Structure 1
Amino acid sequence: MKSKFSLLFFLTFVITFAFQACGQKKDKTIKTTTANVISKPNNPYYSNTDTSKINIPNSEWKKVLPADVYAVMREADTERPFTGKYWDADTKGTYYCASCGNLLFKSTAKFASSCGWPSFFEQENKKSIVFREDNSIGMERIEALCGRCGGHLGHLFDDGPKPTGKRYCMNSIALDFIPDKM
């Protein structure tokens, strides 16, 4: 019975993946501008410069975050693979928490992992991301959370490239991006 369930789960995943990946445009240039990332007037907790830890109740986050961002960052939902705007982007710049603006990654730490989500081998600093065990889907994983607001970003795996051997597998929707000035 277990093998039938595993096979069914695998086939469902493959079919879902095939439909999601079909017909998607492969534009690796991010068209985000600094103006629409730094300023979030509806979110008083967003700051690209404040690194102090904040403890905001989910009821307040629900008021200031878009529903899809709230679902991922406050309820640990996951965007579908190969659908996020940053999974295969290669523009140089900096990635921030989409909830609070905390600095998370530099694009120099991003690599092509082919997993369908943006992947990084190193976080910007030791406090930018914190971790906890996640056994939510019947497998042992390490959940990655924003070190400032505690928002769900994705997961950490030990199958990344050198020098760290880590793969920070992040949800695009949990990230904001500011490109480097040319």
Structure 2
Amino acid sequence: MIRILLLCNLFLWFQLTAGCAQNSNKEKHTSTNVERSDKVEKSDAEWKKLLTEEEYHVMRQQGTERAFTGKYWDYKKKGVYHCAACDLELFDSQTKYKSGTGWPSFWQPIGSETVEEEEDMSLGISRTEVHCARCGGHLGHVFNDGPKPTGLRYCINSVSLQFKAKE
């Protein structure tokens, strides 16, 4: 069991460092155009009441779910992925692809106004963190090792998403 955990941690570290090395010279790929009146602002206490413990940890404290454990990493239904905190449409299933990282991966958000980016130095290396543009919830990270046409990999925590099937 310890060997498996060590291998999983080694795999995760490899994925993070490989993406980060490629990501260090990355430009910003999105801009934030969500109207100020559309922003969702709540206190920590309000977020704790609204979100599950895991959602709060990931979305408000910049946590990460373990690879290959989230409900959407291998999900194949057609529809739209929304922010779990504020219901903003973030990613269409048509842009989802199998990255092999253990998290849902997309090559672009629904619109440039749906996500915002920020430098993340929490592991001592430069990564680009992705937030919901409406509520500021942590979604995951974006790397420039994805498929065409954008070359991007939005590596997103399942717990930050809510899927809604297309009718």
Q: Which interval holds the TM-score relative to the shorter structure?
A: 0.7 to 0.9
Q: Could you say which residue in structure 2 is the equivalent of 1:97?
A: 83
Counterpart of 1:144 in 2: which secondary structure? strand
Q: Indicate the structure (1 or 2) with the bigger Cα radius of gyration.
A: 1
Matches within 5 A, 1:1-182: 13-16=6-9, 52-181=38-167
Aligned to 2:148, the other structure's residue is in SS state coil
Q: How many pairs are equivalent? A: 139
Q: Could you list the structure 1 runs, at least 4 aligned residues long, displaced by more than 3 angstroms after superposition.
A: 15-18
Change (3 A) 1:12 1:138: farther
Name structure 1 gaps, 5 residues minimum.
1-10, 19-50
C-alpha displacement of 1:59: 2.1
TM-score using structure 2 length: 0.79
What 5-or-longer segments of structure 2 have no aligned partner? 12-36
- Equivalent residues of 1:121, 1:166 under 8 A apart: yes
Give the percent of matched residue pairs that are identical in Structure 1 and Structure 2. Answer: 47
RMSD of aligned C-alpha atoms?
A: 1.8
Normalising to structure 1: TM-score of the pair? 0.72
**In structure 1, the residue corresponding to 2:55 is in which secondary structure?**
helix
How far 1:118 moved relative to its partner? 0.1
